[in-house]
Structure 1
Amino acid sequence: MPKIISEQEKEHIKNAMYIKGIELIRKKGMKRVTVDDITAAVQISKGSFYTYYPSKEQFLYHIMKQNEQALLDRVLEIGASSGHFKDKITHALHEIYLAPDSLALYVQPSDLEYLLRKLPDPINKKEQDKSKTNFQSTMNGLGIEDAQCDYSVLANLMDGLHFIASNQNQYGEQGRTQALSILVEAIAEYLSKCKQNSTKNN
């Protein structure tokens, strides 16, 4: 007779799948994660995996979206807190890009394209051209309006973050971490100046 799993146990397993999924994506990259990797990490059978998710791609998509929402919630909380504007921006960027559970630098545009090709059409359509909108919404939550900054400059700075992250094994972890931190500080400085210039012009 199959073992009956309580709702609490199901939630525990799904939470473990989320945590291990993030670890695997950060370690191997999204495209290299397999169902075997997931089941071994969580210590469940393949059959159990498919009772939670119909495919590996839907699992990875769920992990990505859950992580995205968790980071957004943290950023909005930072935006609503008191404190100096630049300090809040720096804190928020560290949460988005450098937090130990963040996937922001580990999911490339090609990874999302790969997932969308394998996901149902409604999900595919929903995700089209959302990356810029999501970033703008995050910045707005921190008090930066669309007209205050040149998003082409920000896009290039973000590309710099992704480039450094994608070369994490080439120059050593310590140098990579410090370089990412310096670039985050530079982005915070740029956003702070955008805010100051906008205030002066009003």
Structure 2
Amino acid sequence: MATAFTNSEKELIRNRLHKAAKECLGKYGVKKTTVDQLVKMAGISKGAFYNFYAKKEILFFYVLEDYQNSLVDKLTKKLEKETTIGIEQFSELIFELYHNVRQSFIMNIIQQQELQYLMRKLPEELLMNHHSLDDMFMEKVFSHIKVKDDVHISVVTASLRAIFMSMMYMKEIGEQDFEEVLKLLIKGLALQIIKEDQNE
């Protein structure tokens, strides 16, 4: 008979699994990380793992989502300190967000082009919920900027996602110029969505 975990034990195990998953994604990527590696690092049985996650890709998804949420929280706090966000401030903040991603464990799976593979392995409802979270984040951002009348949150969110996905093709785009390309794409989006007073 399986041992029932207390709520505090469940939280501890989840934290250990998330830490192990983060480390493995940074070192090995999605395909080369096994459930055996994860449970060994977390100090739990394989059976216990499946009490928490149906497969390793779902654990990876939650680890990525946690990381994204931490970035969004930092960005939201910065936005709250500003009275109004213009094109330049918006461009700098979004670039900083992407720059942080480039310095993180996520870049390993982006460079190995495993992000699409991971998304294909996930249940559809997880992805749909994730896109809803992106839209909620953009609503927070929009509350700090003057947005042009014809701008739709879902389109801006999809545009930011498309710019993010360009990191998978950094070598093809050109690593030497990639940061400038990223800045240009973000600034271009900012120009399309933000309304600034002419006399500012």
Can you list the C-alpha shifts for 1:96-142, whole angstroms capped at 9, x where unaligned? 45245564873634421x223xx3x6446x35966984785475366
CA contact (8 A) 2:98 2:164 kept: no
Tell me the distance in 2 between the aligned counterparts of 1:15 and 1:65.
Answer: 14
CA contact (8 A) 1:39 1:49 kept: yes
Can you list the C-alpha shifts for 1:52-89, whole angstroms capped at 9, x where unaligned? 22332332232233333232222222221238753464
Q: 5 Å matches for 1:35-184?
A: 35-82=35-82, 85=86, 86-87=88-89, 89-99=91-101, 100-101=103-104, 103=106, 106=110, 108-112=115-119, 114-116=120-122, 119=123, 122-123=125-126, 126-127=128-129, 133=135, 136-137=138-139, 140=142, 143=145, 145=147, 147=150, 157-164=163-170, 181-184=179-182
Structure 1 unaligned residues grouped into runs of 5+: none
Give the TM-score of the pair, scaled to structure 1.
Answer: 0.62
User: Between Structure 1 and Structure 2, how many residues are aligned?
Assistant: 187
Q: Give SS of 2:118's match.
A: helix
CA contact (8 A) 2:30 2:118 kept: yes
Higher relative contact order, chain-length normalized (CA < 8 Å, sep 6+): 2
Q: Percent identity?
A: 17
Structure 2 unaligned residues grouped into runs of 5+: none
Q: Give SS of 1:199's match.
A: coil
The aligned counterpart of 2:16 is: 16
> 1:161: Cα distance to partner?
2.4
Q: Assess, with a 3 A threshold, how the Cα gap between structure 1 residues 134 and 2 changes in structure 2: closer, same or farther.
A: closer
